[in-house]
Amino acid sequence: MKGVIVEIRNDYAAILSDNGSIIKIKNNNYQIGEEIQMKNTTKKAKKKIYVLAASVAATILIAGTGVYAYTTPYSYVSLDVNPSIEYKVNIFDRVIEASDVNDDGADIIINLDVKNKTIDNAIKDTITEINEQGYFKEDESGGVVIATSCDDSEKAEELASELKEKAEAVITEKSITAEIEVLSVGKERVLEAKELGVTPGKLNLVEKLQKSAANPEDVSI
């Protein structure tokens, strides 16, 4: 379980966990906004948590720190088959917004409810919906391209690896014939793709096609 430090009082710190609860822990030189990994708590500890939550909730809500941490985009993820979809993900790896990038993506999004879900479950639900709408053909080899972006490049690579595993599990479960390609990119790449009206993953594919052309200089991105 992950959490973000939202308040520090002397020797103790308050954490907003990814399930929305407030947890009191010993302050180990933490800084407000710092992300940490937490072990599962016992029932006895949970009783103390609720007591603490009652005493600090008003302060945290007024300060808005916890809400800000949950609602602020931390990572960006895109998924392309033919439908193209983008997800804004918070520091807890939960989806705070999903949007279509093309018309086919709009047809998928309208049937999805992935807000507040973890991004790996959102990817699973999205691939499942794309399959149910017939974009993967039994007699054709399809492809799924997932791109991740974050200010922390290591985080982007880690997320890309996790999502590849989730996507591969889904296509195996659904007996989908498709190749999975994942990549992590910088924020500049995300902005470049947005200017062209595509996802970073699709832009990467277009550039590959351009480079493989007989006369690459004649092909316009």
What is the number of other CB atoms lying within 10 angstroms of the CB of residue 186?
Answer: 14
What is the number of other CB atoms lying within 10 angstroms of the CB of residue 105?
Answer: 24
Pairing of strands 12-17, 2-9: antiparallel
Contact present, 16 and 66 (Cβ < 8 Å): yes
Mean pLDDT for back-to-back runs of 10 residues, the chain (221 residues) = 77 77 82 75 47 48 59 93 95 92 95 92 97 89 92 92 96 93 92 92 88 86 81
pLDDT tens-digit map of 113-160: 999 899 999 999 999 999 999 999 887 778 999 999 998 899 999 999
Pairing of strands 35-37, 2-9: antiparallel
Both tokens of residue 118? Answer: 């973890």
Both tokens of residue 163? Answer: 């999502």
What is the number of other CB atoms lying within 10 angstroms of the CB of residue 24?
Answer: 19
Name the pTM for this structure: 0.73
